[in-house]
Chain A
Amino acid sequence: MYFAKELLDKSSKMRQQWEDEVKKSVAKHADLKEDWSTVSSLPINRLYGPEDIKDMNFEEDIAYPGQFPYIRGNQVSGYRGRHWTYRMFSGFGTARDTNTRWHELLAAGQTGLSTAFDFPTLMGYDSDDPKARGECGKCGVAIDTLEDFLVLVDGIPMDKITTSMTINPPATILWAMYCAAAEIKGVPLDRIGGTIQNDMLKEFIAQKTLMCPPEPSVKLISDTVEFGTKHVPRWNTISISGYHIREAGSTAVQELAFTLRDGMEYVEDVMKRKGLDIDEFAPRLSFFFNSHIDFFETIAMMRAARRIWAKAMRDRYNAKDERSWWMRFHTQTAGCSLTAQQPFNNVVRTAIEALAAVLGGTQSLHTNSLDEVWCLPTDFAVQIALRTQQVIAEETGVINTIDPLAGSYFVEALTNEMEEQAWDYVHKIDDMGGMVGAIDKGFPQMELADAAYTFQQQIDSAEKIMVGVNKYVIDEKAEIPLLDIEDRIEKEQIARLNEVKRKRDGKAAKKSLDDIKNACKTGENVMPHCIEAVKNLCSVQEICDVYREVYGVFRDPAMY
């Protein structure tokens, strides 16, 4: 029992008094609206009190930072010891363009790098493939071979800075390039740190950068986990993501549940396929969540995530090392909450979402720029976004104390409720044969499609408000400068690629591709061969084509 019986009795009486008064007040003056729920339509009460958390167990449910279930944080010293990493997702045009922006961001105070690749690279195509026409460099940096990659990391101290790469089907290849680049720069693999997103399950559910079917995709992921465990110990080989699931329209509970269940799926696969002991690799699993506009729902979700994961690791998978129980996550503020109308309002939205992520205890944070509803951000907009994090860290005082919202009747009650609903989903998916089985049946995809449609209807009917869109609408257009990615970049990139192919050792390149093909066929770990291949200047597509050939191409059945 969390509160003494005497207190609860007293509170109950006082609460009844309050409720009676509320009834009277509302009879005279009706509430402004009938539905009071989060942006995900989770109903919220008018008030929370001791009764709402009376069944909590302090030791088991809350405890202290660095103590199971880590709901108050993994690190005992909190943000006083270390701010979250300011890690702004960036990339566009050529490797040189992005490298320049990276140096600017580092000079402006960013503490970690995060790579955005263009669509051809994300989908495993080179800049000269017909499918890449019009896409080169537009939404991220174009990388075809190791030569491009070396330009990308030019002047970056790989032993001092950690780099995240948002890459999924070709993750083995881009990571191989990072490793090869480190070796070339004389940095041993056990000194480099970073993350590859490398989470295919959420692609099948939400983001749809797809290449091979689910089963071999999970196999490639297990290869990276094994390789990282053995050779690159400071690397997070999966960033199990909820961000994209939320952006695709899910509710917060769905984001929480599907992300964590994806994590469980990977854990089970690595243990089964690679025979690794869970404590060997679990400490390097990381997560990625969406900080959406509903302030407290976001915070509660993150706290619930820590507690669910700790329980799953310790009780469901019998991990013994406490570092396996920790959930570490990166956060990005919600792109889908930003509006094209009155774009300067987006600065406010991002700030509030960033604050929620900090109060939720994130390990690293990306803040969106005000112009991203239109295109990639300008320097000006990115600076504001970065400064937002710095203002929070340096001026607001929220990091003076750890997990300031712990003990709040509301936040703890909401955290409990979200955890409970998430476990329901987890068990449901277990019954469907795990996440791969559930995806095959279309379950998470349909949940998302339904939630997305419901939300759109709520916006259209003004049941949910987006300022500037369905309330406080004005007619004029905000004139904001926008970033333009020139079409010439495509030509330049193609020329560069042709040059590389011309001067490389064609025999060595072909042999590496054959080695990868054999590894795929025999179930051997592909990573060492990938590193060899990228050093021989094989391109992203050349290696991906090998995967496609051996594993087959997945075509999205598109649930709507």
Chain B
Amino acid sequence: MEIVKKVRDGDVRTVSRLIRRLEDQIPEAKDTIKKIFPHTGRAHVIGFTGSPGAGKSTIIDAMIAEFRKRDKTVGVLLVDPSSPFTGGAILGDRIRMQRHSLDPGVFVRSLATRGALGGLSKAVGDAIHILDAMGKDYVIVETVGTGQQEVEIINHAHTVIVVMIPGMGDEIQAIKAGILEIADVFVINKADRDGAGKLYRELMYMLNMANGFPGGWRPPIVRAENMFDAESFGRSLEELTNAINEHYQNLVDQDLLGDRVKRKTMIELNEALHSAILDPVLTALVESGEMDSMADKLLKKETDPYTLAEKVAKQYLSES
């Protein structure tokens, strides 16, 4: 199929348009994904998460440069929140990595969450596959950074990086948020600021308290200082990139790669089932007006949601 070939050849327009069609949930796009799927599984997927203002984009920009220095190609997905009121979004993370826009080895695409929770959008999972099939060695996904809703990234990434900065109240926040449980590598950005030492110690303390690590991988803490000091910042990025590669190697060595991939596969399968089974039902209910009349009944307290759902389930399940 021509589109698949173009994707595998790395045609930028085709790839970006395909992602667009996925975002807009065009049914034909799903067909294309089906054909692309067998060509995926090669790329190392890296998730970047952390509070807004932590400097994820700046780190990613430097990381792209580091990968390119090592002659590797990179695909980047930048996710920003859609306004719950207007449905629009300002996708501005790209600003920080515009210097790579003319590099054919780098593909950067911004996506809006479009109402999805969990820090990502529905299309991101498929977009990762596309960039993978495009031949990118690494696929970086930057999430919205809303703290407690960040965890979805673990379903898509092999390696999850959590970026923090001192003085944002991160210290306490992160411990509560559960983000720390998903981190494979920690980055303390702006580590030359006040409070960096404290943050480092708190993270170390927490890691020391842990009851063992999956695959024996204890998340390293990389400190990135003044981004304008090219030398020292460059060294931190080298350290970070090495840690990322080492983590992937660890997954391979400990035979955990399969687990991660299976986790993503299960999520995808679930979502696909959801799509295939539930979405058409919901659409039918809305179109026939039955959704409205059910809502009406609920408002009048004539029945409860569970009873209604069971009725619908019986009706549709028995029909198939």
Asked whether any CB of A lies within 8 Å of a CB of B in the complex, the reply is yes
Cβ–Cβ < 8 Å partners of B215 in chain A: none
User: Does any Cβ of B come within 8 Å of A560's Cβ?
Assistant: yes
Q: How large is the interface on A (under 10, 10 to 19, 20 to 34, 35 or more residues)?
A: 10 to 19
What is the 8 Å Cβ interface bit string for chain A, positions 207-219, against chain B (1 contact, 0 not)?
A: 0000001011000
Contact of B228 among A442, A554, A557 (CB under 8 A): A554
User: Does any Cβ of A come within 8 Å of B115's Cβ?
Assistant: no
User: Does any Cβ of B come within 8 Å of A552's Cβ?
Assistant: yes
What is the 8 Å Cβ interface bit string for chain A, positions 342-365, against chain B (1 contact, 0 not)?
A: 000000000000000000000000
Closest Cβ of chain A to B58, distance in Å, is: 8
Q: How far is the CA of A156 from the CA of B153 in the complex (A)?
A: 66
Which interface residue of B53, B96, B99, B228 has the most chain A CB atoms within 10 A?
Answer: B228
User: Does any Cβ of B come within 8 Å of A551's Cβ?
Assistant: yes
Residue contact A560 to B92, C-beta cutoff 8 Å? yes
What is the 8 Å Cβ interface bit string for chain B, positions 272-291, against chain A (1 contact, 0 not)?
A: 00000000000000000000
Residue contact A558 to B95, C-beta cutoff 8 Å? yes
Those of B55-106 within 8 Å (CB) of chain A: 58, 90, 92, 95-96, 99
Cβ–Cβ < 8 Å partners of B319 in chain A: none
User: Does any Cβ of A come within 8 Å of B229's Cβ?
Assistant: yes
Residue contact B229 to A552, C-beta cutoff 8 Å? yes
User: Does any Cβ of A come within 8 Å of B299's Cβ?
Assistant: no
User: Does any Cβ of A come within 8 Å of B209's Cβ?
Assistant: no
Closest Cβ of chain A to B98, distance in Å, is: 8
Residue contact A215 to B99, C-beta cutoff 8 Å? no
Q: How far is the CA of A558 from the CA of B95 in the complex (A)?
A: 7
Residue contact A552 to B99, C-beta cutoff 8 Å? no
Residue contact A555 to B99, C-beta cutoff 8 Å? yes
Residue contact A555 to B96, C-beta cutoff 8 Å? yes
Those of B217-235 within 8 Å (CB) of chain A: 228-230
Contact of B95 among A213, A441, A554, A557 (CB under 8 A): A557
Residue contact A557 to B96, C-beta cutoff 8 Å? yes
Cβ–Cβ < 8 Å partners of A556 in chain B: 95
Count of B interface residues, CB-CB < 8 Å: 10
Cβ–Cβ < 8 Å partners of B230 in chain A: 552
Cβ–Cβ < 8 Å partners of A560 in chain B: 90, 92
Q: How far is the CA of A552 from the CA of B229 in the complex (A)?
A: 7
What is the 8 Å Cβ interface bit string for chain A, positions 175-191, against chain B (1 contact, 0 not)?
A: 00000000000000000
Cβ–Cβ < 8 Å partners of A215 in chain B: 228
Cβ–Cβ < 8 Å partners of A213 in chain B: 228
Q: How far is the CA of A552 from the CA of B228 in the complex (A)?
A: 6
Closest Cβ of chain A to B43, distance in Å, is: 27
Closest Cβ of chain A to B147, distance in Å, is: 18
Q: How far is the CA of A558 from the CA of B90 in the complex (A)?
A: 12
Residue in B closest to A214 when the chains form the complex, CB atoms: B228
Cβ–Cβ < 8 Å partners of B96 in chain A: 555, 557
Residue in A closest to B57 when the chains form the complex, CB atoms: A557
Closest Cβ of chain A to B297, distance in Å, is: 42
Closest Cβ of chain B to A518, distance in Å, is: 18
Cβ–Cβ < 8 Å partners of B92 in chain A: 558, 560
Cβ–Cβ < 8 Å partners of A216 in chain B: 228
Q: How far is the CA of A558 from the CA of B58 in the complex (A)?
A: 12
Residue in A closest to B168 when the chains form the complex, CB atoms: A441
Residue in A closest to B61 when the chains form the complex, CB atoms: A555
Closest Cβ of chain A to B170, distance in Å, is: 14
Q: How far is the CA of A213 from the CA of B230 in the complex (A)?
A: 12
Those of A544-559 within 8 Å (CB) of chain B: 551-552, 554-558
What is the 8 Å Cβ interface bit string for chain B, positions 35-61, against chain A (1 contact, 0 not)?
A: 000000000000000000100001000
Cβ–Cβ < 8 Å partners of A552 in chain B: 228-230
Residue contact B228 to A551, C-beta cutoff 8 Å? yes
Cβ–Cβ < 8 Å partners of A441 in chain B: 53
Cβ–Cβ < 8 Å partners of A554 in chain B: 228
Q: How far is the CA of A557 from the CA of B97 in the complex (A)?
A: 10
Closest Cβ of chain A to B211, distance in Å, is: 37
Cβ–Cβ < 8 Å partners of B228 in chain A: 213, 215-216, 551-552, 554
Cβ–Cβ < 8 Å partners of B99 in chain A: 555
Those of A474-523 within 8 Å (CB) of chain B: none
Top 4 nearest A-B pairs (CB, nearest first) are A213-B228, A552-B228, A558-B95, A552-B230
* A to B CB contacts below 8 Å, 7 in the list: A215-B228, A442-B53, A551-B228, A552-B228, A556-B95, A557-B96, A558-B92
